[in-house]
Amino acid sequence: MKQFEVTFIVDPVLSGDDLKSTVSTYTDMIKNEGCKIIAIDELGLKQLAYDIKKRSTGIYYTVEFQSENGLVIDKLELALRRDERIMRFLTVSLDKFGIKYNADKREGKIGKVKEKVKPEEPKPYSPPARPAHKPRPEPVQEATTDVAAEEVAVNDAPESN
């Protein structure tokens, strides 16, 4: 069995009942063709990159299903193309990596933030331990001469002319 995923954007102006009936129309069509629906995801209202049919937002839905053959795809795409409530759609055939990715995403392994670790209770403040006292070397004293005494000695010296 091949696995497919169809994503479509529904006009956001529709009421809640109209949205549900639109989605159920296409899920029923898929079921009636003998396909097995694996998951239906409502991705919600999202901002569009550019206006489509003078709308700047749309409600995204994704339906993942399995089919014996791809004949249902032609009927589904024709119905999506004719429906004015559908702004855009994209049908993708999933390979084994896409199937595994979607399964992991549904199980919560991908895309969801894991439970936050509770922060530990703050410990009471204790000043950091000081290292053992090291004796500082004594500063070396430089030899100093008394400048005033030298000036006196120079002044007392006899002047030679």
- What would the pLDDT profile of 43-70 be if each residue is shown by its tens digit? 889 998 988 888 899 999 999 999 888 7
Q: Which residue has the higher pLDDT, 120 or 46?
A: 46
Rounded Cα distance between 18 and 61, Å, is 14
Is a pLDDT exceeding 80 seen at residue 147? Answer: no
Let me know if residue 116 belongs to a domain.
Answer: no
Within a domain: 122: no
Domains in the chain: how many in total?
Answer: 1
Tell whether 21 is covered by a domain: yes
In a domain, 144, yes or no: no
Show the domain range for 15.
2-107
Q: Is 157 left (phi over 0), alpha (psi -120 to 50) or beta?
A: beta
Count of beta carbons in the 10 Å neighbourhood of residue 9: 22
Q: Is residue 134 part of a domain?
A: no
Give the pLDDT band of residue 153 (cuts 50, 70, 90): low
Cα dihedral across residues 33, 38, 43, 49: positive or negative: negative
Work out the end-to-end distance of the chain between its first and last CA atoms, rounded to an integer number of angstroms.
124
